[in-house]
Amino acid sequence: MRVKKLSVFIETYGCQMNEYDSDRILNSLSGIPVNNPSDADVIIVNTCAIREKADHKATSALGRYKNLKKSNPNLLIGMTGCVAQLYGKKLIKQIPYLDFVVGPRSIPKLMNIVKDLKDSLDVKKIETSMDVQEVFEIHPYHKKDKVNGFVSIQQGCNKECAYCIVPTVRGKEINRSLEDILEESKLLINQGAKELTYIGQTVNSWKHNGERFHNLLDYLGKLGGLERIRFTTSFPRDVTSKMIDSMKNNPKICRQLHLPVQSGSNKVLKSMNRTYTIDWYRESIRKLREAMPDLSLSTDIIIGFSNETDEDFQETMKLIEDIRFDTVYSFKYSIRPGTLGEKMDVHVSDEIASDRLYKLQKKQKEISLENNIQHISKAYEVLVEGVSKNNSDDLFGRTTHNKVVNIRNLDRSFVGKMVNVKIKEAFQNSLIGEIY
């Protein structure tokens, strides 16, 4: 007898690691993804706890599915991800229509959890153990011929940044084996992926059985059928000369690096426990640009951490003006439970932090636009990903620098192909080009 596949609706919050986990959740349930929650047998909210706002957003998202449960008592509603890990039992107690709570490391156990729940609907399940051996066992769901995909090479984090909840909710760093990474890469390439992004909390600290991150890049560069390699998120202290050489010498590795600096002030970096100085960071950028002059750089910045003064903030402004990142992801500091930052005094009012954030984002918008204008009249190879969000006659893709390019009047048969595009117009977050 054929068993009916589960229809699964997943709402995903947070980073690329969560997007990847959502695809693993789909595969772990052998599910069919549905776009409408009312068509689902199982609804899952895959959550992010990095900031208080994200954490609230995820719990309030669950409320939207409450009425569906009333009209369909067989429907299962679950929460996964970092908020699930953080609050576990508390969520089940507080939210009566929630059937299960599963932490990031326990995704491989999801199929059995859902099976048990189907057998006895009145039971609730909580699985937030960090001690899961098979943490990398489930491969991600990949829609056939989707151009890009993610491969996780690491779970958890060994750094102890004072503001960060990741080590609490994702545990200590576990590095995936080289064989496993190559196997999953080949699987995705065989399903049509042309570009893979290798992800980890501090991806460039990866090491396994004597191999280091630069060795891994060399192995990935030899994978047949893979046209582009990206990786994120890199930790500044773990940028090595060997890593820079591997990037430079491997034409498949995209000219793009996300290197979170968090602050331009040594005093703030020290209180954040980031373990590098601004001079170290600037020197790493110098070496990277010397090796790859066209490297596109992006960063993260936290505004208003603990004792950030106006002078500290001016140093951050100076840094973004000097480095001229293409993109800066900037946020106001948000105190997270169980972190070192929770115990520190906070001297920056919300009003001051908002004002600093506004100034930084305003400056960065100007820089991003000016950087993008530099691309006008230049030609780039663009890997076409799909139909443009702005105009259904256009397709969109990305350059090696991770710039989104909307390509005018391009036939859909070009999806998945590398095309040569000349840039005609530039905006703050995207470019417009024509095939030539």
For ligand SF4, which is the closer residue by CB, 159 or 332? 159
C-alpha distances in Å from residue 229, one per residue of 193, 235, 377:
11, 18, 26
Q: Is 164 in the site for ligand SF4 (CB under 6 A)?
A: yes
- State the DSSP string of 279-302: HHHHHHHHHHHHH-TT-EEEEEEE
201 touches ligand SF4 (CB under 6 A): yes
- What binding mask, one character per residue, do residues 107-146 give for ligand SF4 by CB under 6 A, x or -? ----------------------------------------
For residues 161 and 261, which CB has a smaller minimum distance to ligand SF4 in the complex? 161
How near is the Cβ of 300 to ligand SF4 at its closest, in Å? 8
Q: Site size for ligand SF4, by CB under 6 A?
A: 9
Sign, CA dihedral 175-180-181-187, equals negative
Strand segments (E) across 118-216: 125-127, 148-152, 154-155, 174-175, 195-199, 207-208, 211-212
Q: Toward ligand SF4, which CB reaches closer, 339 or 430?
A: 339
Q: Considering the rule CB under 6 A, would residue 371 count as an interface residue with ligand SF4?
A: no
Q: Which of 86, 138, 157, 323 touches ligand SF4 (CB under 6 A)?
A: 157
Q: Which amino acid is at 44?
A: I
For residues 159 and 422, which CB has a smaller minimum distance to ligand SF4 in the complex?
159
Q: How many residues does the chain have?
A: 436
| Least distance CB 275 / ligand SF4 (angstroms) | 9
Cβ proximity to ligand SF4: between 231 and 235 the closer is 235
169 forms part of the interface with ligand SF4 (CB under 6 A): no
Q: How far is CA 313 from the centre of its chain?
A: 26
Footprint of ligand SF4 on 233-262 (CB under 6 A): 235
- Check binding of 159 to ligand SF4 (CB under 6 A): yes
What one-letter code names the amino acid at 402?
Answer: N
Of 111, 127, 130, the closest CA to residue 42 belongs to 111
Shorter beta-carbon distance to ligand SF4: residue 228 or 258: 258
Question: Judged by CB under 6 A, which of 113, 166, 203, 257 binds ligand SF4?
Answer: 166
Question: What is the C-alpha to C-alpha distance for residues 270 and 291, in angstroms, rounded to an integer?
Answer: 29
Cβ atoms within 10 Å of 59's Cβ, excluding its own: 17
CA-nearest of 88, 223, 241, 210 to 149 is 223
Q: How many CA atoms lie within 13 A of 28 on its CB side?
A: 28
**432 is an interface residue for ligand SF4 by CB under 6 A:** no
Q: Which is nearer to ligand SF4, 46 or 202 (CB)?
A: 202
Q: How far is the CB of 164 from ligand SF4 (least distance, A)?
A: 3
Reading the block at residue 214, the tokens are: 């630069």
Piece of 105-113, 157-165, 284-292, 374-382 that binds ligand SF4 (CB under 6 A): 157-165
- Measured distance CA(101)–CA(108) in Å, rounded: 13
Phi first, then psi: what are they for 142, rounded to 5°? -135, 115
Closest to ligand SF4 by CB, 84 or 164: 164
Residue 23 backbone dihedrals phi, psi, to 5 degrees? -70, -35
Nearest approach, Cβ of 48 to ligand SF4 (angstroms)? 12
Distances (CA, A) of 324 to 10, 235, 244, 327, 366: 37, 19, 20, 9, 10
| Binding characters for ligand SF4, 202-231, by CB under 6 A (x = yes) | x-----------------------------
Determine if 167 is a binding residue for ligand SF4 (CB under 6 A). Answer: yes
- Does 232 contact ligand SF4 by CB under 6 A? no
Which one among 161, 259, 269, 288 touches ligand SF4, defined by CB under 6 A?
161
Joined tokens for residue 372: 């993008």
- Burial state string for 377-391 with b = 16 or more CB within 10 A and e = fewer than 16: eeebebbbbeebeee
Under the rule (CB under 6 A), what is the footprint of ligand SF4?
157, 159, 161, 164, 166-167, 201-202, 235
